Every structure is written in structure tokens, then in C-alpha cells.
Structure 1
Amino acid sequence: MYAYIKGVVTDRNDQQIVIENNGIGYLINCPLGISAEIGGIGDEVTVYLYQSVKEDDISLYGFNSRDQKEMFLKLITVSGIGPKVAHTICASLSAEQIAAAVMSNNVALLTGVKGLGKKTAERIILELKDKLKAQLGGSASVSTTPVALSAAGMGDTGVMQDAVGALVVLGYKDQEAADAVAGAYEDGIGLEDLIRKALKLAAGKKFS
């Protein structure tokens, strides 16, 4: 299993890139929506990887950040969502957009992804919220956790609670998520922007 690869981009097209590392070229599935953020030919880059192993195929899927890969891993736990569909979603929407859509029941945003129908979008929201509910111990609302309540003691508690939930969906512990959201919050901020700012804070603390 690969976590990431560091190397030089030697080739690319609309759906794949080739990263050379120690004289070996790795062919990685990476649509333009993702690869555009990684770098161009000749650039030294870091690409986060997921290896899909099937009876007749072994494929690598590339991501431009840990959060994007984490969202992909969450998406492939949804029934009927395989690596190709999950990768398409991640290439079309940012991790914070997907998380915000889940927390705010924004079916319309998800159905804007090519090939993603309403029923599939609704299933993604339902199943990811169920996973959040299980992780937080019984309620789909993070407001029931003591940590989240302490973080939501200022400003728009609804937006803050949804943002904490979004970070938990992305794999952060509730304390990490609550601290990051509290640090990122400012009056009038929207859910997606709050998630984006909180992710930067949380990632900086987690990997510093």
C-alpha cells in the first residue's frame, strides 16, 4: 500500500499523470481537476496515493492533499461508490465542498458532478452522516458532544457545529476539529469557508 510518492512529472493527459521516482515511471489516475493543482511537466511534486487492487487490474489514484485523499476514502465506504466514481467526485469538488454538502444536505451540489444522480447523492449524504453519528456516539448532530459544545460557545453555533462535523467526517478527532473550528471562526463566515480555514489549521497542527 502506498501513502504518497515524491518525484518529477514526466507526462500527463486529461486523466493520468506519470511520476518518475528512482528511474521508475508510475502511471497514476489523476483527472485535470486534481492534477492541475499538483504541478506541470518537469515539476518535482508530492502526490498522495490510493492503490486499487482487483482480480484483473491494479491501479493508482492520485490526490493533491491528505484531506482530498481522506475524503476519497470516506466516499468509497458508501455503498455503490467505487474508486472511479469517488475519484470523479474529488476531481469535481474540493474536500470542504463535499463535507459541507454532507453536513448541509446539499444534494444539488453533489448532483452537479457529471454522472452522479440524485439517489446516489442522497445515499452519500445519508451514509456519511450515519458514520458521523456512529463516531460521535449516537447523534448526527455534533452539538451533543461536550467538546463540540465548548467550541460552539460563540458565534453561529449551527455553522460551527456543521463545520466540526465536516472535519470529523474527514478523519479528524472531535477535539482537533472543535479546536480548529473555534480558531477559524469569524462573524459572518459561511460553512464552506469555515471548513476550508479550519482544515488548514487542523492540518498544520496534525502534521507540524
Structure 2
Amino acid sequence: MFSYIKGTLEEYWEDTIVVESGGIGWNIHVPLSVLDRLPHVGEQIKVYTSFQVKEDSMTLYGFFGRQDLKMFNQLLGVTGIGPKAALGILSSLSPDDLRMAIIAEDSKAIAKAPGIGPKTAKRVILDLKDKVSMDDVLPLQFAGGQVEAAVTAAASGVDGAGKEAIEALVALGYSPTEATKAVRQVTITEDMNSEAVLKASLKFLAF
């Protein structure tokens, strides 16, 4: 029903922001990742929204990007995941980190979200593993090229899928050295893509 709402940020608290648009103050529930990036009160804001209707309520959920909104909607398609649980997952993991966790089949990372147990985390992976890929993850952003240089140096002699797997592990929070050490322990065959190498590498890393 609503693609996005653009207006003035009036106030915010906990998991909710109020955006005034067209003379109406819209209550929009957001993950922590949105709260951390809010402009100052009184400034303009554009929020991509999902409108959820239940028998006793109508609620707007908002995100700063269409890809983030897409991830939210994909979570709603998982058995046992409602809007509140989906928002909780996206407050614990950024959409890109969640995609990486799904690709890597890292259920422990997903289970850290409030109200999400091991079985539900595994269900998220099972239901979404064929719906996300490395191509969905935004390109890594390296401050001043320092991290990129560190990855390049550590990954010397590792090309193709192996190098991409190292970059993905660094995006997950591992150091270039840890990531490279894990990837080097994998026997990479010609038919393995970066996702396969990433999954195999994670077996050599302690979560």
C-alpha cells in the first residue's frame, strides 16, 4: 500500500520514529540500524515501508533502503517469523550480515536475536538459503583502503572464489589473517564458488 514515506522527522524512541508527511504524523517501527543513522529532529527523512495488517492493528515498518525492506519481507515468509521477530533479527544483524549468516549457514549468529531460538534460526536458513546469494550483499566499503590493502596482503596467492570468501569473512568481522588462514585450510576445487568456499572455511573458525 505504501512504497515509502518522505517527510520531517518529528521524534523517535525505542523502536519507533514519527515522520510528519502531508499533515499526518506517521508512527513507523524500525530496527536499531535505522535509529543509529537518523538525521536530527526537524530534518527530512525518506523511509521505505511495509504495511502490516492484523485483526486488531495496522502497523508500519520502515527501512532506509529497498534491499533492507526486501530482507524484512523475506523474513516474514519464514514459518514462525512475524513482524516483531523479523524486526528483532534485523536489530541484531544488519541485512547484509544476515544474508552472510544465511549463506554461511551460521544459525548461531541468527539465534542471538531476541526471541529467536536455535530451531527458528535454522528455519530462517532453510527457508531463505535459496533466496539470497553473494550478489545480494552490498560491495564492501573500506575506509581509506587500509582494510582492502590488508586483505590483499593477507590473501597473497589466493584468487577467485578463495579471495571472495576471505573478503566475505572479513565482512563478518574476522581479521584478514584469520580469514585467510581458514580459507587456506579448504581444498578448493574448480567447481566450488565463493559461497561453497565460505561455508567450508567457517568450519575452521570458532563461533
Q: TM-score, normalised by structure 1?
A: 0.64
The structure richer in helix per residue is 1
Q: Residue 68 of structure 1: CA displacement?
A: 0.9
Aligned residues: 149
Deviation at 1:77, TM superposition (A): 0.4
What corresponds to 1:189 in structure 2?
167
Letter in 2 for 1:36: D
Residue in 1 aligned with 2:26? 26
Whole-Å separation in 1 of the counterparts to 2:75 and 2:49 = 15
Q: Could you tell me how far 1:49 is from its partner in structure 2?
A: 0.4
Residue 203 of structure 1 corresponds to none
2:123 pairs with 1:123: yes
Q: Which runs of 5+ in 1 are unaligned?
A: 133-161, 168-181, 195-208
Which residue identity is paired with 2:82? G
User: In 1, Cα distance between the equivalents of 2:88 and 2:71?
Assistant: 12
Whole-Å separation in 2 of the counterparts to 1:19 and 1:7: 6
Change (3 A) 1:99 1:17: same
SS in structure 1 opposite 2:61? strand
1:1-208 counterparts in 2 under 5 A? Answer: 1-131=1-131, 163-164=134-135, 188-191=166-169, 193=171
Secondary structure at 1:190 match in 2 = helix
Q: What amino acid does structure 1 have at the position aligned with 2:167?
A: I
**2 CA distance for matches of 1:121 and 1:2?**
29
Shift of 1:129: 1.9
Please, which runs of 5 or more residues in structure 2 have no aligned partner?
Answer: 139-159, 173-207
CA distance in 1, matches of 2:105, 2:164: 23
- Classify 1:119/1:6 alpha carbon distance in 2 versus 1 (closer, same or farther; 3 Å): same
**Equivalent pair of 2:9/2:43 in contact (CA under 8 Å):** yes
RMSD value, Cα: 2.4
Contact preservation (8 Å) 2:33, 2:94: no
Following superposition, which runs of at least 4 residues in structure 1 exceed 6 angstroms of deviation? none
Q: Deviations over 1:155-193 (max 9, x none)?
A: xxxxxxx513768xxxxxxxxxxxxxx9xx869422573
Q: Normalized against structure 2, the TM-score is what?
A: 0.65
Report the identity percentage. 38
For the Cα contact (< 8 Å) 2:31–2:90, is it kept in 1?
no
Deviation at residue 64 of structure 1 after TM alignment? 1.8
**C-alpha distance after superposition, 1:48-78 (max 9, x if no partner):** 1000011211010111211111100110000
